[in-house]
Amino acid sequence: MATVLITGGTGMVGQHLMELLVVKGYDVIIVSRGPSKMRPHAKVSHAQWNIDTQEIDAEALAKADHIIHLAGAGVADKRWTTERKQEIVDSRTKSSATLVTALAKLPNKVQTVVSASAIGWYGADTAESLINGFTEDAPADTEFLGETCRLWEKSIAPVIQLGKRLVKLRIGIVLSNTGGALVEFKKPLQFGIAGILGNGKQMISWIHVEDLCKLFVYAIEQPQMQGAYNAVASKPVTNKELTITLAKMLKKSLFIPLYIPAFVLKVMLGEMSIEVLKSTNVSNKKLLSTGFKYDFATIEAALENLK
């Protein structure tokens, strides 16, 4: 069976993806900066790299048939100081540069690179996007996340000139019980409060973590796929719809909707509040045209699975 090398494989998505790849019979190599703390597995091995010196384990790269590139500092993990914003950008562009350099200089048989990107590429909704959704040919937004995604995708693009097929997945809000936005949405519900952000009308383009991992594998296995694809479910929802649907599933009728004003979020989150309050309706028509099928196509199905 083919071997898949994963960068950033110790994160939330990486862990789910590793498990799916193993179930499907792939051999997996997890690349990280330091020694692995994961339990040994017959189908999973570990290697190290250093993105500051652009070095990677040559033996690991030589074994890989495909690369899934997930590496990057968590956008929502810390407040956006100037230093943190630079770290977010560098963690993506330097890791991509390390892969490009290695693929150019070291012997390898890599056929495909599937790189994470994000719907942060797109700006706030327009009248047209609210109806039809942003499509992959839309230009990158000029704000921080849009520029980050533009640099991220640009940094991995040279693999095409090296003869590798490149697929870029612009990932929406990932719903999972092991991290990310859904865990934060659930916290107030422990106290019977359904926290609605701002006016709650902002559109959230989301995807279930299992569908996302399924999509990464699908991108490897479908040679006709290349370029950017929006990794989101077919039916975006408003922040209020997501919150109330989740509350009803977890608390039935025993919850109180509580609107958290925009100015409070700005005090709590700083510049990051812009993204929390931003409405982004993203289209997945290009992905659907490839024949990809979702296991969790509606927010009800996704939240029922994750409640």
Question: Which CATH code of 3.40.50.880, 3.40.50.720, 3.30.465.10, 3.20.20.70 fits the domain covering 3-172+208-232+282-293?
Answer: 3.40.50.720
The span from the CA of 27 to the CA of 7, in Å, is 14
Sign of CA dihedral 62, 68, 74, 75: positive
Helix, strand, or coil (residue 125): coil
- Check whether 307 has a pLDDT greater than 90: no
Whole-prediction pTM: 0.95
* Residue 269: C-alpha distances to residues 143, 203, 302 (Å): 16, 19, 27
- Check whether 296 has a pLDDT greater than 80: yes
State the residue for tokens 């009248």. 127
The span from the CA of 269 to the CA of 248, in Å, is 27
Helix, strand, coil percent content, the chain, rounded in steps of 5: 45, 20, 35
* Residue 86: C-alpha distances to residues 34, 90, 131, 149, 278 (Å): 22, 6, 34, 13, 22
**Across 151-167, average pLDDT:** 98
Beta strands in the chain (DSSP E): 3-7, 27-32, 44-50, 55-56, 66-69, 112-118, 165-171, 173-175, 193-197, 203-204, 206-208, 227-231, 237-238, 256-260
Residue 34 confidence class, pLDDT cut points 50, 70, 90 = confident
Better-predicted residue by pLDDT, 38 or 236: 236
How far, rounded to the nearest angstrom, does the alpha carbon of residue 158 sit from its chain's CA centroid? 21
Q: Which residues of 104-142 are buried (b: 16+ CB within 10 A; e: fewer)?
A: eeeebebebbbbbbbbbbbbebeeebeeebbebebebbe
Element counts in the chain: helices (H) and strands (E):
12, 14
Helix, strand, or coil (residue 56): strand
Q: Over pLDDT 90: what percentage of the chain? A: 90
Taking only the tens place, the pLDDT of each residue in 71-124 is 999 999 999 999 999 999 999 999 999 999 999 999 999 999 999 999 999 999
The span from the CA of 291 to the CA of 234, in Å, is 13
Antiparallel, parallel or unpaired: β 112-118 and 66-69? parallel
Taking only the tens place, the pLDDT of each residue in 272-282 is 999 999 999 99
Please list the residues that pair with 47 across neighbouring strands. 31
- Check whether 37 has a pLDDT greater than 70: no
Reading the block at residue 40, the tokens are: 């040994």
Q: Report pLDDT for 229.
A: 98
Please list the residues that pair with 194 across neighbouring strands. 257
Reading the block at residue 85, the tokens are: 């914003």
Q: Report pLDDT for 38.
A: 66
Mean pLDDT for the chain? 95
Q: Report pLDDT for 250.
A: 87
Q: Report pLDDT for 42.
A: 83
Q: Report pLDDT for 187.
A: 92
